Chain A
Amino acid sequence: MKIRMILYTFLTTMIGLLIAVLFQSNSEPDSRDTRNIGELRQALISERETQQTLNEELNRQMEILYQLEQTEDVELVMGDVMEDLQEQAGLTEVTGSGLLIEIDIVFDENYTGGGIKSVPPYLLRLLINELNIQGAQHIAIGNQRIVSTTAIREANGRTLVNGNWLSQFPIEIKVIADDPESIHHAMMSSQASDLFNYDNFRFSSTPIDNLTLPSFDKNYRVRFMEPVQEDS
């Protein structure tokens, strides 16, 4: 009887231990917040920036509302707003000071790879990201305006932007920005420039005072919005 009890006790102790350990291991959170103070501050700053942009947007909308309330001619204000939105969406031609980036093929003596037909899409995406980080306002690759729904992808070994093949080399990338000089310097020392060089592309940028970007010539495919008809 005594041995039996000891055996039972041994087993129940084990069961208890296993349950406790399993319970603890499974209730452990999947990912822990391991950011240090610096990273937390950065996150805080980016959140503040978001807040600021949202506030600015709110102010703008309030202003438009105020204008609409004040003026008799609502259509005029609506027209202004519409033009403004169209410019933001890339549906109009824009002119301004900016940057002309040229990408061309360059071969050194030791080049042993195959022919280069087009710029790989990931490089273009990287470049666009860097330009946006540096404060570019409008971007066009070749004759294709980059808008929020632009797709850059590869088909049959050639790169498509907005569903169109890129023109032949050299490829021109036009960028409109407030401060072309600083973007020019940032781009010449950027990671994108290095990566283009690794892939046998020559990457050059020149600030230009008067640059015209084409408009987005396709139809926007709007998936999650629809016009609301006022009840008549």
Chain B
Amino acid sequence: MWLPLIGLLLGLLLGFFTNVNIPEQYSIYLGMGFLAAFSTLLGGARAQFDNEFDEKIFITGFFTNLILAITLAFLGVHLGVDLYLAAVFAFGVRIFHNIALIRRMLLKNWSNKKENE
């Protein structure tokens, strides 16, 4: 359980101490990467609660989402249409949906535990 948190801290420290700066026009792609990773993480957590977690689906889901999002952002930049919004919207909906499901499951588990006591 602690390992992911340590990973998060490690990533933050690595990012702040390596002093990497990316030009403003590429920040969209980084944002896409962040959204894809976050939504995949929540999707994985939700699947774990449903006991249907599959590593293959997890990994392939992450990479296809990421590639699709970045392709949309790239095309959007070159076509002059903000296509990346589609990806932001999809990821956003997925994140909220998964958080809602996880919250419900946690609440259910908690009330079940209370009833059993």
Interface residues of A (CB under 8 A from B): 3-26, 28
Interface residues of B (CB under 8 A from A): 3-16, 19-24, 27, 30-31, 33-34, 37-38, 40-41, 44, 48, 53, 55, 58-59, 62
Alpha-carbon gap, A4 to B43, bound state (A): 13
Contact of A16 among B3, B14, B62 (CB under 8 A): B14
A14 near B44: Cβ-Cβ < 8 Å: no
Count of CB-CB pairs between chains A and B under 8 Å: 104
What's the dominant secondary structure at chain A's contact region? helix
A5 contacts across to B, CB distance below 8 A: 3-4
Contact of A18 among B30, B48, B55 (CB under 8 A): B30
A26 contacts across to B, CB distance below 8 A: 27
A19 near B15: Cβ-Cβ < 8 Å: yes
A18 near B27: Cβ-Cβ < 8 Å: no
What are the 6 A-B residue pairs with the smallest beta carbon separation, nearest first?
A: A20-B15, A16-B11, A9-B7, A13-B7, A17-B11, A13-B11
Alpha-carbon gap, A25 to B62, bound state (A): 25
B62 contacts across to A, CB distance below 8 A: 11
**A1–chain B nearest beta-carbon distance, Å:** 10
Alpha-carbon gap, A24 to B12, bound state (A): 11
A7 near B58: Cβ-Cβ < 8 Å: yes
17 pairs, A vs B, C-beta closer than 8 Å = A7-B44, A7-B59, A9-B4, A9-B7, A11-B4, A11-B37, A12-B4, A13-B11, A15-B11, A17-B11, A17-B12, A18-B31, A18-B34, A20-B11, A20-B15, A21-B22, A25-B23
